[in-house]
Amino acid sequence: MNPEKSVVVTDVSKSFGKTEALRSISLSTYKGELFGLIGPDGAGKSTLFRILTTLLLPGSGKATVAGYDVVTNYRNIRRIVGYMPGRFSLYHDLTVEENLNFFASIFKSIVAENYDLIRDIYIQLEPFRKRPAGKLSGGMKQKLALCCALIHRPEVLFLDEPTTGVDAVSRREFWEMLRRLKKEGITILVSTPYMDEAMLCDRVALMQKGGLLKVHTPSGIIGQYNLPLWAVKGDDIYRMIGLLRHFESTQSAYLFGDSIHFTAKDHTVTDGQILSHLQKTISSKIEIHKIEASIEDCFMSLMETEQQTIIEG
């Protein structure tokens, strides 16, 4: 990976009235990196993207994109970034073809010039090229928006929640497209509320309520989960979770699909202790085994630590 920095954010804050959307955020991305901003609504992801694409001024702090300052050099940034905002923002009444040609010409380019970049994506849109963009399905709109953001071969691509509200299959396809784009050397910043998508990035920033919980590689974040974690399965999941929440060795117990993710307070806790606590009340079969943390486990643990800090501080 190219060690040169592509986006640098230094102590950026932004408030809207009383709401602190960003609280002194600092992070940077490398050239050619696929960087994820992972966090729920209200984390500040869209606000940060708008500042970096020069659509919004920072309240305080400094940010540069490809070396250009977002405040003093915004014109240069606008020529070299691609942006896909949270909602479909193309022209509903223009056809697929017309939208693409329009965006190409705005950036003083023509579709043919950078067609190789979007070919794999556009091939799926081709049968619908004469259809008005407003009449495309959600997944197709997304693909078109991506093509329009790429048509001028940007150096840095900002994708704001491109997979929100989209089904699991389309989500996977979209990320496969991003990995192919990465090979072209484009720096890609993507925001998403889906924790599992963090695994597909080179590095991620876990964000919540305008602040950063952690910035690292996905495996780095998982590696820092320092308490023992088990998956507990059985017939009566609801009863088990209730019992675990009243167990003195429990740090946390959360539902994860068909099992409970149980985090113990420290490393002295054993499988046997957990089982005997549950078996006092439950007679049916209980399965329990140690597991590696997922990004979601890490995010929740970091959230709790932050809550604790706020309560104590």
Partner 1 sequence: MHGQNVIEVENLVKKFGTFVANDHLTFSVSKGEIFGFLGANGAGKTTAIKILCGLLAPTSGRATVAGFDVYRRPDKIKQNIGYMSQKFSLYEDLTVKENFRFYGGIYGLTKKRIHERINELLGRLDLLHVLEESTHALPLGWKQKLAFSLAIIHNPSIVFLDEPTGGVDPITRRQFWDMIYETALGGITVFVTTHYMDEAEYCQRVSIMVDGRIEALDTPAILKKTYTAQTMDEVFLKLARKAKVSIS
Give the footprint of partner 1 on residues 172-201 (CB under 8 A). 172-173, 193, 195
Q: What is the per-residue binding string for partner 1 in 57-96, x denoting contact by CB under 8 A?
A: ----------------------------------------
Among 1, 4, 19, 224, binds partner 1 (CB under 8 A): 19
Distance in Å, CB of 99 to partner 1, minimum: 17
Indicate the residue among 18 and 130 with the shorter CB distance to partner 1.
Answer: 18
Question: Which positions from 114 to 153 touch partner 1 by CB under 8 A, shown as an x/- string?
Answer: -------------xx--------xxxx-------------
Nearer to partner 1, 238 or 311 (CB): 238
> What is the residue whose two structure tokens read 């943390």?
293
Q: Which of 166, 201, 243, 278 binds partner 1 (CB under 8 A)?
A: 166
Cβ proximity to partner 1: between 107 and 194 the closer is 194
Instruction: Tell which one of 4, 167, 184, 287 touches partner 1 (CB under 8 A).
Output: 167
Q: Give which of 24, 8, 7 is closest to 59, Cα–Cα.
A: 24
Among 183, 246, 257, 313, binds partner 1 (CB under 8 A): 257
Q: Does 285 bind partner 1 (CB under 8 A)?
A: no
Closest CB 46 distance from partner 1, rounded Å: 11
Residue number, 55 or 241, with CB nearest to partner 1? 241
Angle at which helix 138-150 crosses helix 96-106, to 10 degrees, equals: 20
**Is there binding between residue 164 and partner 1 (CB under 8 A)?**
yes
Neighbours of 106 (CB within 10 A): 11
Residue type, 292: E
Pairs from 111-114 (Cβ < 8 Å, separation ≥ 24): 111/151, 113/153, 114/150, 114/151, 114/152, 114/153
**Smaller CB separation from partner 1, 68 or 299:** 299
* Stretch binding partner 1 (CB under 8 A), from 95-103, 115-123, 179-187, 249-257: 249-257
Binding residue for partner 1, selected from 208, 250, 251, 273, defined by CB under 8 A: 208
For position 281 contacting partner 1 by CB under 8 A, the verdict is no
Quote the CA–CA distance of 111 and 33 in Å, as a whole number: 25
Cβ of residue 194: shortest distance to partner 1, in angstroms?
8
Work out which of 108, 238, 246, 309 binds partner 1, going by CB under 8 A: 238
Long-range contacts of 121-125 (CB under 8 A, 24+ apart): 121/146, 121/147, 121/150, 121/177, 122/147, 125/96
- Stretch touching partner 1 by CB under 8 A, among 60-68, 102-110, 150-158, 293-301: 293-301
Residues that bind partner 1 (CB under 8 A): 18-19, 39-42, 127-128, 137-140, 164-173, 193, 195, 208, 238, 254-258, 296, 299-300, 303-304
